[in-house]
Amino acid sequence: MDFALKKEHEMARALFKEFAEKEVKPLAQEVDETEEFPRATVEKMAKLGFLGIPVPKEYGGQGCDPLTYVMCVEELSKVCGTTGVIVSAHTSLCCDPIQTFGTEEQKQKYLVPLAKGEKLGAFGLTEPGAGTDAQGQQTKAVEDGDSYVINGSKIFITNGKEADVYVIFAVTGMIEKRGRMIKEISAFIVEKGTPGFTFGTKEKKMGIRGSSTYELIFTDCRVPKENLLGKLGQGFKIAMHTLDGGRIGIASQALGIAEGALERTIAYTKERKQFGKTIAQQQNTQFQLADMATKVEAAKLLVYKAALAKANQKEYGFEAAQAKLYAAEVAMEVTTKAVQLHGGYGYTREYDVERMMRDAKITEIYEGTSEVQRMVISAALLK
């Protein structure tokens, strides 16, 4: 077993780090303050192929592996959690299900422009009454001639108004399973601009404030039959598979936020003087930093292990759940300690750690709360 990174991963990290420092970091505070989607940054990332890192070259991607994608989200999130989640939602939640379940025609029509970054992707599963409980879905799709007609709404959709291509889940009927009638869910590819597809309110969020989080509304929205993703009734499987990958992306975002907060705290504690010496010379600070760094490293190993599992295994939901659970909780703990070690300054918006603490919180909630991750992990243990 060798923990050394391969040459390509070292070079890719250097690339992502340089890009994040030069192009993303200078805007991070402004993006948070103004809550404006960083469109110019997304265009730069598109040009460099950052929106199609794990997608094969024949579909317009970069042909890299999941670990390279993880490092991209990690390095972006070290300086800006918003930018990290834009790439994560686009790649894991839209490119991945189309690559995995799409027909050749769907891949050519949607995956190629998504991977090239000409189009941005989003994913719509959550509804007001269906978060953790996907069976609570109310959005319906009814077959009508050569189309499906979708009615309903989705909330908290990342890249909401900025995306061009959406993977949307809807109930297409009822089926019997172990003597009970349950909802049959299917997945559809919906393009922005389809008549009947509009946007509701923009969420005002605690963190990742530059990410475009919107309600999607479908009113007699007619989607051609060829846009059914996978088979009819395969939606739940597609959603769960997609979220397994998505969790690795969010785990990477959480890892990056934690690393960013740790870096800034190390620098700050070496400068800040109290009682005639730097606070880094106080044993309390040293012990806090040691704990923070150790947990960050443990989170990194879990996240990278999950990325390798995605590359090498058919099923990787267990590894993804462990990585997301741990990295998200470490992100929250490390950013909270980072604010504490910054003292009063850390509570002001002048210092990055304040933003990072707000950004960290969502990683414990979206794409499966920490409680859901515990359910997934324990279910595998007790199988």
Partner 1 sequence: MKIVVCIKQVPDTKGGVKFNPDGTLDRGAMLTIMNPDDKAGLEAALRLKDKYGAEVTVITMGLPKAEDVLREAMAMGADKGILVTDRVLGGADTWATSQTLAGAIRNLEYDLIITGRQAIDGDTAQVGPQISEHLGIPVISYAQKIEIEGDSVIVERQFDDRYHVLKAKMPCLITALAELNEPRYMTPGGIFDAVKADITVWGRANLVDVDDSNLGLKGSPTQIAKASDKVRKGAGEKVNLDPAESVDYIVGKLKEKHVI
Cα–Cα distance for residue pair 189/359, rounded to 1 Å: 29
What 3-state DSSP class applies to 351?
coil
**Does 57 engage in binding with partner 1 (CB under 8 A)?**
yes
**Does 315 engage in binding with partner 1 (CB under 8 A)?**
no
Instruction: State both tokens at 192.
Output: 């922005």
Q: Tell the smallest beta-carbon distance from residue 273 to partner 1 (Å).
A: 13
Instruction: Provide φ and ψ at 72, rounded to 5°.
Output: -65, -50
Question: 68 vs 285, which CB is nearer to partner 1?
Answer: 68
What 3-state DSSP class applies to 227?
helix
Number of residues counted as binding partner 1 (CB under 8 A): 19
Among the listed residues 5, 48, 142, 240, the single contact to partner 1 using CB under 8 A = 48
Stretch that binds partner 1, among 1-9, 73-81, 84-92, 253-261 (CB under 8 A): 1-9
Radius of gyration of the chain (CA): 21
> Are the CB atoms for 247 and 368 separated by under 8 Å?
yes
Q: Tell the smallest beta-carbon distance from residue 67 to partner 1 (Å).
A: 11
> Are the CB atoms for 324 and 373 separated by under 8 Å?
yes
- Single-letter residue type at 328: A
Q: Tell the smallest beta-carbon distance from residue 119 to partner 1 (Å).
A: 18
What is the CA 298 to chain-centroid distance, rounded? 20
**35 is known as an active-site residue:** no
Residue of 75, 162, 259, 367 marked catalytic: 367
Angle 201-203-208 from CA coordinates, rounded to 5°: 145
Question: 68 vs 137, which CB is nearer to partner 1?
Answer: 68
Stretch that binds partner 1, among 50-58, 135-143, 247-255, 319-327 (CB under 8 A): 50-58
Question: 10 vs 226, which CB is nearer to partner 1?
Answer: 10
Stretch that binds partner 1, among 55-63, 95-103, 168-176, 194-202 (CB under 8 A): 55-63
Among the listed residues 8, 33, 133, 371, the single contact to partner 1 using CB under 8 A = 8
Cα–Cα distance for residue pair 343/350, rounded to 1 Å: 13
Strands (E), 193-345: 197-202, 214-224, 228-229, 273-274, 277-278
Q: Tell the smallest beta-carbon distance from residue 379 to partner 1 (Å).
A: 35
Question: 16 vs 188, which CB is nearer to partner 1?
Answer: 16
**Does 11 engage in binding with partner 1 (CB under 8 A)?**
yes
Among the listed residues 17, 29, 36, 63, the single contact to partner 1 using CB under 8 A = 63
Instruction: State both tokens at 76.
Output: 């972006």
* 235-271 helix and 317-346 helix, angle to the nearest 10 degrees: 30
Q: Tell the smallest beta-carbon distance from residue 121 to partner 1 (Å).
A: 18
**Does 24 engage in binding with partner 1 (CB under 8 A)?**
no
Residues between 72 and 131 that touch partner 1 (CB under 8 A): 72
**Does 61 engage in binding with partner 1 (CB under 8 A)?**
yes
Q: Which DSSP category does 290 fall into?
A: H
Among the listed residues 68, 159, 186, 322, the single contact to partner 1 using CB under 8 A = 68
Instruction: Provide φ and ψ at 133, rounded to 5°.
Output: -90, 90
**Would you tell me how many other CB atoms lie within 10 Å of the CB of residue 315?**
12
What 3-state DSSP class applies to 276?
coil
Stretch that binds partner 1, among 9-17, 93-101, 126-134, 363-371 (CB under 8 A): 9-17
Instruction: Provide φ and ψ at 68, rounded to 5°.
Output: -65, -40
Question: 117 vs 207, which CB is nearer to partner 1?
Answer: 117
**Does 233 engage in binding with partner 1 (CB under 8 A)?**
no
Question: 13 vs 237, which CB is nearer to partner 1?
Answer: 13
**Does 40 engage in binding with partner 1 (CB under 8 A)?**
no
- Shortest CA distance to 331 belongs to which of 312, 294, 359, 305? 359
Among the listed residues 46, 64, 239, 248, the single contact to partner 1 using CB under 8 A = 64
- Single-letter residue type at 90: H
Cα–Cα distance for residue pair 361/180, rounded to 1 Å: 37
Question: 48 vs 365, which CB is nearer to partner 1?
Answer: 48
Q: What residue has token string 């391969």?
A: 6
Q: Which residues are known catalytic residues? A: 367
Give the binding site for partner 1 (CB under 8 A): 6-8, 11-12, 15, 18-19, 48-50, 53, 57, 61-64, 68, 72
